A and B are shown apart, each in its own frame.
Chain A
Amino acid sequence: MSSDRIVGIDLGTTNSLVAFMQGDTPVVIPGDDGLNLVPSVVALDEHDQIVVGNSARKYLIETPERSVYSIKRLMGRGLEDIQEELRLFPFQLADDLEPGEVLRIKLGRKTFTPPEISAFILRQLKRNAERFFNAPVTKAVITVPAYFNDAQRQATKDAGRISGLEVLRLVNEPTAASLAYGLDKKKNGIVAVYDLGGGTFDVSILRLHDGIFEVISTNGDTHLGGDDIDNILIHIALDDIRGDMGMDVSRNGEAVARIRKAVIETKIALSTQATAHLDVELPEGKRYQREITRTQFEQLIQPIIDRTAGPCKQALKDAGLKPEQIDEVVLVGGSTRIPRVRALVEEMFKHAPHTGLNPDEVVALGAAVQANILAGGSEATADMLLLDVTPLSLGIEVAGGVTDKIILRNSTIPASATQHYTTQVDGQVNVAIHVLQGERELAKDCRSLARFDLKGVPPMTAGMPRIEVKFLIDANGILHVSAREQRSGKEAEIQVQPSYGLTDDQVESMILDSFDYAEEDFRQRQVIEARNEADTILAALEKGRQSPAWGQLTSAEKKQIAKLETALLQVRGEDDYAAVRKAIDTLNQATMRLAELMMDNAVSTALTGKTMDEADMGDGPTAPHPVAKAEFK
């Protein structure tokens, strides 16, 4: 296979996955735990090492102050737009955070930006893929919610770069799902994708015809998902505990994490059962227990799932379609397993939704299909082409603080617009442009994307310069701006002040930092492995001492072994890999004869009719002596 294999990655709020195209079929690559889903959880362990995924989950409860989940909610966002998140999630912001700075999250004593934390997850997926292929993986397609704005997309791309992946394309999640859905069908028709994930909601309406997957409209809410359902249940539990038991555990990170784990299990159970039992261990040996019926649950979550109705209606309206004109509704995201959600989808689109796809995996599988297309395609993807749209209108602030929209939402991307600017004052050499994203009329109600300073405009009488600025939204949904003064033909220098997000320099330095982490990762792993090996040989030695073979050693030999054993015990606790390694090797060498004697004894015991088990070889000093081990297979 070629060395530049491109993988598809679903970087989700709750779970992340990596997939690739195996022949004609996209498949998910499992982690070393054999599981397809890598929980999007990042923690610092007791050695200050980054742990990701299933192995990080226990830290959510054990050391909540050193772990983080749902980081996707913070991607590309500023302090002022996450007040809601801070109220509902245990995000711990860095103490020294300056206003306007990119957010930093505390994990223990370290702080990381959301793209860096996402990069830890991506690096784990990259490692999983590399182990699977036994070859380096450097290129990826990463999915994002269709309704992600420019800053959120940019942050995702930054995360990719920091993790050492070249992000060839950002694909919208519902669109990716449609690729997986339509891969083997090659049928024509109108498809709606309803994607309710852990933290985001998207709805996209597509027209499938002759292999072209054309998005007609998209809508959504980047802060709506299963997390919100969990938070409602958590708050009810906290209120109950306060009311019935007189305990306030809302500030107790461990207790809240336990409650969260329990309500998620309850939520999942209620998708298949009529009632579920909530049972949480609390501090001081107390217990919170409660029955929840599906009816109660549905009443509680109704306001949340109702919030998906507006975007669905808007998407239909923008597409100029009636629900009856939709041929199929595809469900994506774990939250679509909730029966009440399915009922709402059926009401909205007047169709029983298509449930043949695994809602957790379909986005990653679609990303793998898109990766295959980008890599040059294969027989399975030969005629496939994705035409996606920009979810939000792009505008420019004009006089009076008003947004002048220049690229409307649901325009097929790449899309561009050209604007002309001039100067207001004689000799003016700078022109400031404020770029906005959103649907509202006033600039203050739209999302500020960036402020551009056109510099080096040739000094002329006011109104004379004619500066042509070109705005281009690329196939990733990311904005590019270029400018030219038309009278002088001079390319204007553009200084970008991203309203939220990392500068190129910051990303570069994070990439360098990440190399440190990668090295640190490797070094730490070596130390840990050597330490485990030391424990094995020390245990084996202890066994050897109990065996008859020990008596056959000379006293000098015994003395030497004891000396080396002490030496190993001394360096074992230190972080010095070389020292531990050396101590293991010398002790190993010195116990070689002991191992041989034990082996001989075992063999002769076996010959005299005893079984191996009775001879009690135990584990023996086997690990450091592979030859001996092989004999007993």
Chain B
Amino acid sequence: MCLMTDQSSAGMIVFDNSGPTNACWSCGDMRAAHFCTSCGKVQPPAPVDHFTFFGLPRKLDLDVARLERDFYDLSRKLHPDLYGTANSREQEWSLEQTSKLNDAYRTLKDPIARTQYLLRLEGVELEEQSKAATEKARSTGEIKRQVVPPDLLEDVFELNMQLEELRMQKKMGEDDPALTEEIGEQKLSLEAKQDALLRELTGYWKDWDNAAESDEASRIKVRDKMVDLLNRRNYIRNLVRDVNEVLED
């Protein structure tokens, strides 16, 4: 679906195609994407991606303040609370439109979720780093596509040993403040790494957004760089989660 964004009027996201979806079901006038600009009625949801829902180009370096403003503006027009006395069809549309709005906003406002989402739209399958995937792989005997970033290999090995030791100690009811402290420090340094990786990732956003119009080769180069950063960051995130689990146990 083609789309035109009117930058001057926030929240006014208008489809510019002349297909049958162009007219408001209720008053027949020209309509915006989600509600009618004439009579204000909610429109049936269209199967669009999160960027399109907000009338945004598929770019990573987006104006989060504007996204937030549009989110509240659209909420005030689409939310099911406003359709409490409407007919069941409008209630249904309002529910679906608002769930799409919330899902899109949640994904786009978060830098990591936004990058992952866009890469998936571009056909990139990110490695499954989740614990669920680990367990799934374990139970099905499949090889899990999880690669330890080589520069982390040594640290991770060391940390896992310490975690195992602490787990054992906790099981025995023992307490080793020195070990706990050491793991706590490792956690802090992992978190710092996580932040650094995010900064590095956002550094590539502009490259990606510009590369979108340029040649295939440079696109692939930026894409692969971002995929690598995401995987490393997710890996560290999971490590931090494991550490937290042991520490809070």
Smallest CB-CB A-B distances: 9 pairs = A400-B139, A374-B84, A414-B99, A402-B135, A416-B99, A400-B135, A404-B132, A412-B102, A475-B80
* Given A414-B99, A475-B95, A402 contacting B132 (CB threshold 8 A): yes
Q: Is B59 interfacial (CB 8 A cutoff)?
A: no
B102 contacts A413, C-beta separation under 8 Å: yes
Interface flags, B133-156, vs A, CB<8A=1, else 0: 001101110000000000000000
A212 contacts B72, C-beta separation under 8 Å: yes
Which residues 62-103 of B have a CB within 8 angstroms of A?
Answer: 72, 75-76, 79-82, 84-85, 95-96, 98-100, 102-103
Which residues 96-129 of B have a CB within 8 angstroms of A?
Answer: 96, 98-100, 102-103, 105-106
Interface size of A by CB at 8 A reads 33
What is the interface of chain B mostly: helix, strand, loop, or mixed? helix
- Bound state CA distance, A414 and B139, in angstroms? 34
B99 contacts A415, C-beta separation under 8 Å: yes
Knowing that A373-B81, A387-B79, A412-B105 touch, tell me 8 more A-B residue pairs with CB under 8 angstroms: A168-B84, A210-B72, A374-B81, A374-B85, A403-B132, A415-B99, A416-B100, A472-B95
Q: Which of B99, B131, B138 has the most CB atoms of chain A within a 10 A radius of its CB?
A: B99
* Given A212-B75, A374-B81, A374-B84, A398 contacting B132 (CB threshold 8 A): yes
Query: Which residue of chain B is the closest to A407 with respect to CB atoms?
Result: B103
B63 → chain A closest CB, angstroms? 19
Complex contacts, A169 vs chain B, CB 8 Å:
81, 84
Which residues 400-436 of A have a CB within 8 angstroms of B?
Answer: 400-405, 411-417
Cross-chain pairs A/B with CB under 8 angstroms, 8 sampled: A370-B81, A399-B136, A402-B135, A412-B105, A413-B102, A415-B106, A475-B79, A475-B80
A217 → chain B closest CB, angstroms? 14
Complex contacts, B98 vs chain A, CB 8 Å:
414, 475
Q: Is B210 interfacial (CB 8 A cutoff)?
A: no
- Bound state CA distance, A386 and B72, in angstroms? 11
- Bound state CA distance, A475 and B95, in angstroms? 8
A190 → chain B closest CB, angstroms? 16
Interface flags, A300-313, vs B, CB<8A=1, else 0: 00000000000000
Q: Is A356 interfacial (CB 8 A cutoff)?
A: no
* Given A375-B84, A414-B80, A400 contacting B100 (CB threshold 8 A): no
A412 contacts B106, C-beta separation under 8 Å: yes
Complex contacts, B80 vs chain A, CB 8 Å:
414, 474-475
A375 → chain B closest CB, angstroms? 6
Complex contacts, A212 vs chain B, CB 8 Å:
72, 75-76
Complex contacts, B136 vs chain A, CB 8 Å:
398-400, 402
- Bound state CA distance, A249 and B136, in angstroms? 54
- Bound state CA distance, A413 and B94, in angstroms? 12
A417 → chain B closest CB, angstroms? 8
Complex contacts, A609 vs chain B, CB 8 Å:
none
Q: Is B189 interfacial (CB 8 A cutoff)?
A: no
What is the interface of chain A mostly: helix, strand, loop, or mixed? strand
A: residues with CB less than 8 A from B are 6, 168-169, 210, 212, 370, 373-376, 385-387, 398-405, 411-417, 441, 472-475
Q: Is B130 interfacial (CB 8 A cutoff)?
A: yes
Complex contacts, A475 vs chain B, CB 8 Å:
79-81, 95, 98
Complex contacts, A416 vs chain B, CB 8 Å:
99-100, 103
Complex contacts, B138 vs chain A, CB 8 Å:
400
Complex contacts, A374 vs chain B, CB 8 Å:
81, 84-85
A475 → chain B closest CB, angstroms? 5
- Bound state CA distance, A168 and B95, in angstroms? 13
Q: Which of A376, A412, A415 has the most CB atoms of chain B within a 10 A radius of its CB?
A: A412
B: residues with CB less than 8 A from A are 72, 75-76, 79-82, 84-85, 95-96, 98-100, 102-103, 105-106, 130-132, 135-136, 138-140
A175 → chain B closest CB, angstroms? 12
B81 contacts A385, C-beta separation under 8 Å: yes
Query: Which residue of chain B is the closest to A413 with respect to CB atoms?
Result: B102
Complex contacts, B81 vs chain A, CB 8 Å:
169, 370, 373-374, 385-386, 475
- Bound state CA distance, A405 and B135, in angstroms? 14
Complex contacts, A402 vs chain B, CB 8 Å:
131-132, 135-136, 139
Complex contacts, A401 vs chain B, CB 8 Å:
135, 139
- Bound state CA distance, A441 and B76, in angstroms? 36
Q: Which of A168, A373, A399, A415 contacts B102 (CB 8 A)?
A: A415
B40 → chain A closest CB, angstroms? 13
B36 → chain A closest CB, angstroms? 18
B140 contacts A441, C-beta separation under 8 Å: no
A219 → chain B closest CB, angstroms? 15
B46 → chain A closest CB, angstroms? 15
Complex contacts, B100 vs chain A, CB 8 Å:
416
Complex contacts, B139 vs chain A, CB 8 Å:
399-402
- Bound state CA distance, A401 and B132, in angstroms? 9
Complex contacts, B130 vs chain A, CB 8 Å:
404
A308 → chain B closest CB, angstroms? 18
Q: Which of A6, A168, A210, A415 contacts B103 (CB 8 A)?
A: A415
- Bound state CA distance, A168 and B102, in angstroms? 21
B107 → chain A closest CB, angstroms? 11
A376 contacts B102, C-beta separation under 8 Å: no
Query: Which residue of chain B is the closest to A209 with respect to CB atoms?
Result: B72
- Bound state CA distance, A373 and B95, in angstroms? 16
Complex contacts, B76 vs chain A, CB 8 Å:
212, 385
A114 → chain B closest CB, angstroms? 27
Q: Which of B72, B85, B102 contacts A375 (CB 8 A)?
A: B85
A526 → chain B closest CB, angstroms? 37
B167 → chain A closest CB, angstroms? 15
- Bound state CA distance, A342 and B98, in angstroms? 38
Query: Which residue of chain B is the closest to A211 with respect to CB atoms?
Result: B76
- Bound state CA distance, A177 and B100, in angstroms? 27
Complex contacts, A414 vs chain B, CB 8 Å:
80, 95, 98-99, 102
- Bound state CA distance, A414 and B98, in angstroms? 6
B44 → chain A closest CB, angstroms? 16
Complex contacts, A413 vs chain B, CB 8 Å:
99, 102
Q: Which of B79, B96, B103, B140 contacts A385 (CB 8 A)?
A: B79
A37 → chain B closest CB, angstroms? 27
Query: Which residue of chain A is the closest to B72 with respect to CB atoms?
Result: A212
- Bound state CA distance, A513 and B13, in angstroms? 51
- Bound state CA distance, A473 and B103, in angstroms? 11
Q: Which of A6, A375, A400, A474 contacts B140 (CB 8 A)?
A: A400
- Bound state CA distance, A27 and B80, in angstroms? 25
B149 → chain A closest CB, angstroms? 23
Q: Which of B102, B105, B136, B139 has the most CB atoms of chain A within a 10 A radius of its CB?
A: B102
- Bound state CA distance, A375 and B132, in angstroms? 44
Query: Which residue of chain B is the closest to A168 with respect to CB atoms?
Result: B84
Complex contacts, A168 vs chain B, CB 8 Å:
84
Complex contacts, B135 vs chain A, CB 8 Å:
398-402, 441
- Bound state CA distance, A399 and B132, in angstroms? 9
A411 contacts B106, C-beta separation under 8 Å: yes
- Bound state CA distance, A4 and B132, in angstroms? 48
- Bound state CA distance, A405 and B131, in angstroms? 10
B50 → chain A closest CB, angstroms? 12
* Given A387-B75, A399-B136, A399-B140, A411 contacting B102 (CB threshold 8 A): yes
Q: Which of B79, B84, B98, B103 has the most CB atoms of chain A within a 10 A radius of its CB?
A: B84
Complex contacts, A404 vs chain B, CB 8 Å:
130, 132
- Bound state CA distance, A375 and B84, in angstroms? 6
B132 contacts A472, C-beta separation under 8 Å: no
Complex contacts, A441 vs chain B, CB 8 Å:
131-132, 135
- Bound state CA distance, A210 and B76, in angstroms? 11
- Bound state CA distance, A412 and B68, in angstroms? 14
A454 → chain B closest CB, angstroms? 20
